């Protein structure tokens, strides 16, 4: 199934959604991201791989300006979303984050009902004019994250009562409900068992038809399964970026080769 | 021999026991230290504890007997000797037990556990003792005064000639009224301060402002009382009560309530701060990542998650407000009254307990004994609040573990 999708994606001409130019990130004196240039395509799953501590999460968090919430973080360079510099002073990071959704490593549903978890984004951004519309958004998002059938009869139970995999899909539904254009996922499966991981991976593949998805993963198998593009980070550098198949079959850089053959990381 | 000497002597014995025990253990082990079950220091410690424990038990038992008047003061010298003898016996017994197979480490563990249990039971027994003595005296009071008149009476006019009206309601009302005002001041200010500290303030501001707020907690309540008496009271009277025609009393419910509220601010803010910080960062990240502003994040995610804990903090603050005395004496006066005007003087249960027990008192008169009934009532109220608060706080803790 994945192969067919990948074949299709190779032939379609795709737009550039996000483009990063000479991005540097510092945490105090630590230089965590060094001169990264990358172009991320629309309607594509892009995987960030690399040994832990190499800056994958840091770079991901630049794309929705979550690093702004860390006092000591400092970002230089340019990141454009649809051609617009997101670090421009006129850009409101709060609004940006509505457009660039994020799913975190550990499922973090709010201590609210399942319904209220999903309705959270639409409510604060006024996406629904009335209860019926809100109901529709919630149902659509839960269906979109393959959770609807499991929770439709208990929407008012707390989201924290679901299993780990369900919680993570709830968090994906919550992000999708805000109608983002880009979905960032930071190791979304690392806290999940293999079955839940399979479900989330399947979901990611479906999300590709509507969003540009960027996923950080420490599992090369996962990157190979879900992504069309792969970026390999090492010690804060973007070492290699290209078609997922190429990265895994004929890596250009010796560090990439060492990593995918298990010699570093 | 005075007890202090006996204590010192047994301490010296214990030190000696430690050294002897340790060196005997080394001697027993010979060249292979691993043939011992426990390391030599445990052998030493077990001898020391076996010396000290019997000596101290003898001393405590003697003190208890003396409190119960079963032992004459002259017997004290004997007790000291007895304690020392017990210590020496323990020492001897401890030394004889040392051997390769002796599980000194486990023995020490058990003795340590015993000491810990002993200390916890002291705390519990003291509480029980206090409550029992309160209940006992309250029983006396209710033999002399109808309990219905006490709980439902709206008059508080103690007269030492007898024929007093001792209704708790005016005092209870004053207590609750003043506490309510105090909470209305302390809870919003304390909470908002805590929210600012934990969610907005930079590290530097936090480093200065937090200790500054906590200084408030270190001020003795009598100093707050003086502040109420000479500053807040006259100010409220001159700028609010008199112009508004609401009275001209320097001491008032509002004065005491405001000042007590100020006293409680650091209490509420440091508890809320802990509770807000216990909400996982991932919760905030989740909300911010969906495009909420910081204040939306706090209102819709952090506070609801922290709410049970905050309610617990408020209840704990309430039980402190209810028990406060000095600020009320100096701020609200001593007139027992049932009224709504916050600019009038009123008083609370604690103040009346003090005034019924100071001066010449006759512990058979209901006017004196009523203090115990008041105390017990207060105890039951604050105990109830604390239990509810602890229950809520504990429930909330479980949520994230
Ligand atoms: N909040 C932070 N404060 C200081 N240093 C950080 C912070 N977050 C990450 N770092 C540092 O930045 C580097 C990259 O971290 P990260 O992006 O989390 O790596 P990855 O996600 O690839 O494992 C690491 O050296 C890490 O120690
Ligand atoms: Mg990471």
Do B93 and B122 reside in the same domain of the chain?
A: yes
**pLDDT band at residue B397 using 50, 70 and 90 as cut-offs:** low
Q: What is the pLDDT of residue A13?
A: 54
Given an 8 Å threshold on Cβ–Cβ distance, is A64 in contact with B292? Answer: no
Specify if B146 maps to a domain: no
Residue A45 DSSP one-character state = E
- In this structure, are residues B104 and B29 in contact, taking their beta carbons and an 8 Å threshold? no
Shared domain check, B209 and B124: no
Q: Give yes or no: residues B245 and B134 share one domain.
A: no
Supply the pLDDT for residue B400.
Answer: 55
Backbone φ and ψ for B320, nearest 5 degrees, come out as -70, -40
Long-range contacts of A125-128 (CB under 8 A, 24+ apart): A125/A98, A125/A178, A125/B291, A127/A177, A127/A178, A127/A179
What CA–CA distance (Å, rounded) separates A79 from A25? 12
Does residue B164 share a domain with residue B115? no
Same domain, B253 and B114: no
- Asked whether residue B347 is domain-assigned, the answer is yes
Is A196 a domain residue?
yes
* Assigned domain for A247 exists: yes
Q: How far is the CA of A57 from the centre of ligand 1 (A)?
A: 7
Q: What angle do CA B394, A115, B200 make, to 5 degrees?
A: 55
Number of Cβ within 10 Å of residue A161's Cβ equals 12
Residue A155 lies in a domain: yes
For residue B35, give the DSSP letter.
G
Last residue of a domain, one of B114, B140, B166: B140
Query: Mean pLDDT, to the nearest integer, of B89-101?
Result: 89
The pLDDT value recorded for residue B398 is: 62
pLDDT in tens, A165-183: 899 999 999 999 998 999 9
Tens of pLDDT along B257-271?
A: 999 999 999 999 988
| CATH assignment at residue A77 | 3.40.50.300
**Number of domains chain B contains:** 2
Q: Cα separation of B327 and B332, whole Å? A: 8
Q: How many CB atoms lie within 10 A of CB B157?
A: 12
How many Cβ atoms are within 10 Å of A154's Cβ, its own excluded? 13
For A222-257, what is each residue's pLDDT tens digit? 999 999 999 999 999 999 999 999 999 999 999 999
Give tens-digit pLDDT for B161-197.
778 899 999 999 999 999 999 999 999 999 999 999 9
Final residue of a domain: which of B140, B173, B193? B140
What span, in angstroms and rounded, lies between the C-alpha atoms of B384 and B104? 45
- Tell me the average pLDDT across B139-162: 89
CA B241/CA B255 separation, integer angstroms: 11
**C-alpha–C-alpha distance, residues B176 and B321, integer Å:** 9
Q: Whole-number mean pLDDT of chain A?
A: 91
**Among A34-38, B160-164, B249-253, the range of highest mean pLDDT:** A34-38
Please tell me whether residues B106 and B223 are part of one structural domain.
no
What band does A61 get if pLDDT is binned at 50, 70 and 90? very high
CATH number for B272: 1.10.3720.10
> Would you state the pLDDT for residue B16?
94
Contacts of A124 in chain B (CB under 8 A): 290-292, 296, 300
Of B87, B115, B140, which closes a domain?
B140
- pLDDT digits over A94-103, tens only? 999 999 999 9
CB-based pocket (< 6 A), ligand 1? A 27, 30, 32, 50, 52-58, 70, 72
A35 bridge partner residues: none
Q: Which of B202, B296, B305 sits opposite A124 (nearest CB)?
A: B296
Q: Phi, psi at residue A157, to the nearest 5°?
A: -85, 155
Proportion of chain B above pLDDT 90, given as a percent: 56
Q: pTM for the whole thing?
A: 0.78
Cα A70 to ligand 2 centroid, rounded to whole Å? 15
Query: Once rounded to an integer, what is the mean pLDDT over residues A125-141?
Result: 94
Say how many domains are in chain A. 1
Arithmetic mean of pLDDT, B349-361: 87
Within this chain, do residues B114 and B14 fall inside the same structural domain, yes or no? yes
Q: Is A160's CB within 8 Å of B293's CB?
A: no
Quote the mean pLDDT of chain B: 89
* Angle formed at CA A150 by CA A145 and CA A156, multiple of 5 degrees: 95
Q: Is the predicted pLDDT of residue B333 greater than 70, yes or no?
A: yes
State the nearest Cα–Cα gap between A214 and chain B, in angstroms.
15
Strand A84-85 and strand A100-103: the pairing is: unpaired
**Residue A173 CB: number of other CB atoms within 10 A?**
29
Range of the domain at B131: 3-140
Q: Kindly give the distance from the C-alpha atom of residue A234 to the centroid of ligand 2, in angstroms, as a whole number.
A: 13
Specify the pairing of strand A229-234 against strand A45-49: parallel
d(Cα A47, Cα A51) in Å, to the nearest integer? 13
Residue B323 reports pLDDT greater than 50: yes
Residue B148 belongs to some domain of the structure: no
At residue B109, the pLDDT reads 93
Parent domain of A123: 2-260
Decide if A214 contacts A63 (C-beta within 8 A): yes
Answer whether B38's CB lies under 8 Å from B102's CB: yes
A105 neighbors A164 (Cβ within 8 angstroms) = no
Query: Which backbone phi and psi does A241 adopt, to 5 degrees?
Result: -140, 130
Across the interface, of A66, A95, A111, the residue whose CB is closest to B285 is A66
Strand B165-166 relative to strand B156-157, pairing = antiparallel
> Domain check: are B127 and B172 in the same one?
no
Asked if B93 and B100 count as a contact pair (C-beta separation under 8 A), the reply is no
**In this structure, are residues B105 and B25 in contact, taking their beta carbons and an 8 Å threshold?**
no
Please tell me if residue A181 touches chain B, with a CB cutoff of 8 Å. Answer: no
Q: What is the structure's pLDDT at B44?
A: 92
Instruction: Of A28, A30, A45, give the one whose Cα is nearest residue A236.
Output: A30
pLDDT score recorded for residue A239: 96
> Are residues B18 and B101 in contact, defined by beta-carbon separation less than 8 angstroms?
no
Q: Torsion-angle region of residue B102: left (phi > 0), alpha (psi -120 to 50) or beta?
A: beta
Domain membership of residue A164 (yes or no) is yes
A 10 A CB-CB count for B226 gives 16
d(CA B210, CA B274): 12
Domain presence at residue A265: no
Same domain, residue pair B287 and B372: yes
My answer on whether B14 and B163 are in the same domain is no
Rounded to the nearest 10 degrees, the angle between the axes of helix B169-195 and helix B253-278 is 40
Closest CA to B9 of B56, B70, B41: B56
Using DSSP's 3-state secondary structure scheme, residue A18 falls into: strand
Question: What do you get for the CA distance between the two ends of chain A, in Å?
Answer: 30
**Domain match, B120 and B194 both:** no
* Per-residue model confidence as pLDDT tens digits over B196-209: 998 898 889 989 98
CA–CA gap between residue B275 and residue A262 (Å, rounded): 44
Specify whether B253 is located in the same domain as B347.
yes
- Does some domain include residue B151? no
Given a cut of 70, whether residue B62 has pLDDT beyond it is yes
Give the range among A59-68, B14-23, B127-136, B359-368 with minimum mean pLDDT: B359-368
Between B169-195 and B366-399, two packed helices, what is the crossing angle to 10 degrees? 30
**Phi and psi dihedrals of A46, rounded to 5?**
-110, 130
CA distance A242 to B341: 77
The strand pairing partners of A243, in sequence order, are A229
- Domain-embedded: residue B197: yes
Give the closest of B202, B285, B290 to A121, CB-based.
Answer: B290
- At B377 the pLDDT is 95
**Per-residue pLDDT averaged across A77-89, rounded?**
94
pLDDT at residue B255 is higher than 50: yes
Q: Report residue B399's pLDDT band, with 50, 70 and 90 as the boundaries.
A: low
């Amino acid at each position: 199934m994945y192969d067919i999708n990948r074949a299709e994606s190779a032939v379609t001409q795709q737009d550039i959604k996000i483009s990063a130019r000479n991005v540097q990130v510092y945490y105090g004196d630590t230089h965590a991201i060094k001169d990264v240039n990358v172009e991320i395509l629309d309607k594509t799953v892009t995987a960030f791989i690399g040994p832990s501590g190499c800056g994958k999460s840091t770079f991901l968090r630049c794309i929705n300006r979550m690093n702004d919430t860390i006092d000591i973080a400092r970002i230089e360079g340019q990141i454009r979303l649809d051609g617009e510099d997101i670090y421009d002073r006129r850009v409101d990071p709060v609004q940006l984050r509505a457009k660039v959704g994020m799913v975190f490593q550990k499922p973090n549903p709010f201590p609210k009902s399942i319904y209220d978890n999903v309705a959270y984004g639409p409510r604060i951004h006024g996406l629904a004019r009335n209860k019926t519309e809100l109901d529709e958004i919630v149902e659509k998002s839960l269906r979109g994250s393959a959770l609807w059938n499991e929770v439709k009869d208990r929407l008012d139970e707390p989201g924290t009562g679901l299993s780990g995999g369900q919680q993570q899909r709830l968090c994906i539904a919550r992000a999708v409900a805000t109608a983002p254009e880009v979905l960032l996922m930071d190791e979304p499966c690392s806290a999940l068992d293999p079955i839940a991981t399979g479900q989330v991976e399947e979901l990611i593949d479906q999300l590709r038809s509507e969003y540009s998805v960027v996923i950080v993963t420490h599992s090369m198998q996962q990157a190979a399964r879900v992504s069309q593009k792969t970026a390999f980070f090492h010690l804060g550098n973007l070492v290699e970026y290209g078609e997922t198949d190429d990265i895994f079959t004929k890596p250009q850089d010796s560090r990439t080769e060492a990593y995918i053959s298990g010699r570093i990381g | 021999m005075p007890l202090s000497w006996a204590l010192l002597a047994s301490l010296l014995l214990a030190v000696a026991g430690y050294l002897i025990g340790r060196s005997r253990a080394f001697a027993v082990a010979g060249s292979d230290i691993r043939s011992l079950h426990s390391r030599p220091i445990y052998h030493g410690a077990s001898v020391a504890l076996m010396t000290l424990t019997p000596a101290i038990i003898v001393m405590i038992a003697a003190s208890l007997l003396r409190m119960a008047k079963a032992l004459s003061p002259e017997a004290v010298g004997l007790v000291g000797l007895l304690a020392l003898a017990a210590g020496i016996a323990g020492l001897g017994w401890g030394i004889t037990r040392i051997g390769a197979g002796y599980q000194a480490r486990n023995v020490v563990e058990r003795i340590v556990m015993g000491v810990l249990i002993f200390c916890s039971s002291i705390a519990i027994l003291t509480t029980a003792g206090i409550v029992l003595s309160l209940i006992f005296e309250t029983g006396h009071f209710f033999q002399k005064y109808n309990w219905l008149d006490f709980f439902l009476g709206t008059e508080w006019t103690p007269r030492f000639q007898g024929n007093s009206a001792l209704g708790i309601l005016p005092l209870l009302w004053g207590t609750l009224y003043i506490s309510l005002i105090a909470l209305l001041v302390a809870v919003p200010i304390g909470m908002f301060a805590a929210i600012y500290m934990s969610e907005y303030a930079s590290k530097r501001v936090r480093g200065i402002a937090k200790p500054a707020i906590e200084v408030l907690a270190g001020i003795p309540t009598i100093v707050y009382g003086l502040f109420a008496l000479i500053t807040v009271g006259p100010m409220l009277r001159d700028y609010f009560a008199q112009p508004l025609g609401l009275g001209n009393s320097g001491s008032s419910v509002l004065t005491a309530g405001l000042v007590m509220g100020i006293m409680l601010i650091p209490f509420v803010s440091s508890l809320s701060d802990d509770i807000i910080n216990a909400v996982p960062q991932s919760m905030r990240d989740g909300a911010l990542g969906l495009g909420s502003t910081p204040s939306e994040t706090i209102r819709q995610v952090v506070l609801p998650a922290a709410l049970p804990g905050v309610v617990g903090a408020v209840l704990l603050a309430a039980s402190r407000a209810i028990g406060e005395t000095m600020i009320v004496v100096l701020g609200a006066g001593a007139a027992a009254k049932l009224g709504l005007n916050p600019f009038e003087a009123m008083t609370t249960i604690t103040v009346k307990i003090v005034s019924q027990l100071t001066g010449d008192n006759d512990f058979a008169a209901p006017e004196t004994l009523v203090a115990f009934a008041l105390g017990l009532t207060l105890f039951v109220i604050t105990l109830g609040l604390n239990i509810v608060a602890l229950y809520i706080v504990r429930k909330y803790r479980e949520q994230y573990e």
